[in-house]
Amino acid sequence: MEEFSINTKNQENIEILYLNGFLDAHTSVELENCLEKLIAEGKYRIIVNFDKLSYISSAGLGVFMAFIEAARDNAGDIKLCGMSDKIYNIFDMLGFPILFEIYKEENSAIGKFS
């Protein structure tokens, strides 16, 4: 099984998470802990970049649902970007484009926080 990792950076007061590898029931806890820490620190402007993500399961999808309300309740948001067609189709099939702003490019997502 492929590994999972998260790299982070702060740009223009926005936390950007770069997901790498497989996001499934075993690895989703790492993403959950990362988002939980950001919310606890009062960092509500979040972009998740999927460019290096190979796979996402329903457990991985559920993590985003758990934190979107906390971000938006505090004048922030979780925006998604860099999805492959395969991963976008999973999000689309489950109606996520109605709930989340999804962008092809990271810079587009950053610009929407301005």
The share of the chain scoring above pLDDT 90, in percent, equals 97
User: Which pair of structure tokens corresponds to residue 76?
Assistant: 């922030």
Q: Which homologous superfamily does the CATH classification assign to the domain defined by 4-111?
A: STAS domain (3.30.750.24)
Residue 43 pLDDT exceeds 70: yes
Q: What is the pLDDT of residue 1?
A: 58
Q: Say what the pTM is.
A: 0.96
Q: What is the pLDDT of residue 2?
A: 73
pLDDT digits (tens, 9 = 90+) for 45-92: 999 999 999 999 999 999 999 999 999 999 999 999 999 999 999 999
**Which contiguous run of DSSP H or E holds residue 36?**
helix 28-40
Residue 104 pLDDT exceeds 70: yes
SS3 for 80-111 is EECCCHHHHHHHHHCCHHHHCCEECCHHHHHH
